[in-house]
Amino acid sequence: MRTKLLITGGLGYIGSFTARSFLKNKSIKALSIDNLSRGNNFANKFSNNYKLDISDNRVRKIVIKKNINTVLHLAAYTCVRESEKKKQKYLNNNFKKQIKFIDNLKNTSVKYFIFSSSLSIFEKNKFKKNASPYSKYKLKIEEYLKKISSNDFKVLILRYSNVIGSDQNGEIGEKNNYISRIVPSFYKNLLDKKKNTLFFDYKKKIFPSRNYIHVLDVANVNLKIILNHQKIKKKFLVLNVYNVNFHSNFEVLKTLSKILKIKYIFKLKQISKLESIKPVYKSGKNIFKYLKYKPKFKNLNQMLKSNIKWFKKIY
């Protein structure tokens, strides 16, 4: 069966890289639904975007008309910290609208559904008890999808760690005007010689560590799995998307400062109790092993360096 792909959030960070990979590989523009609440118009050239909300009933009509069989569902708000402050906003966009969108796909041509979840739902290899609204709704949508999955509506959950990086040639990259993301924030503060805020656990005296994956590797595995979903026998499968190494926020700042040859200054801030110091992701299969895919970007220096051309262009 030929893949007829819809990407929701196709003008966002991961969506634009994935649409670009699909276009390069298949010479076809994927269909995208993105209301541009957070996306970037410059990504328009990689997909055919309908500027609609995922909860809009017109989405169902488009899916039927275009005979879509595969959906990569990325549209959501993406910030753990923002979700703690704006609970209602996350309840609405990351839960209620998501359910409406999924329900609108029932009894259509869609047979393969890929949901972008997050490894932030874990703490010490268990589902978090005191999860942020962001993580809680990701888990709830996963559970809902598991319940409705069938041989006619196969569901694949991709749990990403922290996605960073840009196209090395500076064609596209990380840009989000609505939330503060670690690498662009550090970059701008270094250039402006401003203090960087580093979250820190005063009690344990440690900086939090995170796992980082490069957006090009994410786009590559997204593409591979989109093109191979039809071969997967299971009606519901969870795959984790993460690298081997973890890095503290301090390491990220130091590495970027070395690349830019600009001295860093920082202040410390107590990390929220809802956030992990160092997450453990043992449950679930790693997609890199599953697909026998070797990530192109393995070390932090390489990932951060990939941003420079792009950041010079936009900042």
Ligand X SMILES: NC(=O)c1ccc[n+]([C@@H]2O[C@H](COP(=O)([O-])OP(=O)(O)OC[C@H]3O[C@@H](n4cnc5c(N)ncnc54)[C@H](O)[C@@H]3O)[C@@H](O)[C@H]2O)c1
Binding site for ligand X (CB under 6 A): 9, 11-15, 33-39, 53-54, 74-76, 78, 93, 97, 116, 118, 160, 162-163, 176
Buried b (16+ CB within 10 A) or exposed e, 50-76: bebbbbbeebbeebeeeebbbbbbbbb
C-beta of 88 vs 151, nearer to ligand X: 88
**Shortest reach from residue 299's CB to ligand X, in Å:** 18
Fill in the DSSP letter of residue 140.
H
C-beta of 264 vs 279, nearer to ligand X: 279
**Secondary structure E strands in 209-276:** 209-214, 236-241, 246-248, 266-270
**Shortest reach from residue 116's CB to ligand X, in Å:** 4
C-beta of 202 vs 315, nearer to ligand X: 315
Distances from the Cα of 172 to the Cα of 9, 215, 223, angstroms:
15, 11, 17
Contacts of 2 (CB under 8 A, 6+ apart): none
C-beta of 116 vs 196, nearer to ligand X: 116
Indicate the Cα dihedral angle 298, 303, 306, 312, nearest 10°.
180
CA distance 73 to 104: 13
**Burial, 192: exposed, middle or buried (Cβ in 10 Å; 0-12, 13-18, 19+)?**
exposed
**Shortest reach from residue 75's CB to ligand X, in Å:** 4
Using CB positions, name the residue nearest to ligand X.
Answer: 12
C-beta of 188 vs 262, nearer to ligand X: 188
C-beta of 151 vs 177, nearer to ligand X: 177
Contact 156, 112 (CB under 8 A): yes
**Burial, 195: exposed, middle or buried (Cβ in 10 Å; 0-12, 13-18, 19+)?**
exposed
**Shortest reach from residue 265's CB to ligand X, in Å:** 26
Buried b (16+ CB within 10 A) or exposed e, 292-302: eeebebeebee
Buried b (16+ CB within 10 A) or exposed e, 141-163: bbebbeeebeeebbbbbbbbbbb
**Shortest reach from residue 222's CB to ligand X, in Å:** 10
C-beta of 37 vs 169, nearer to ligand X: 37
C-beta of 76 vs 198, nearer to ligand X: 76
Closest CA to 43 of 17, 21, 8, 23: 17
**Shortest reach from residue 53's CB to ligand X, in Å:** 4
**Shortest reach from residue 118's CB to ligand X, in Å:** 4
- The amino acid at residue 227 is L
**Shortest reach from residue 310's CB to ligand X, in Å:** 14
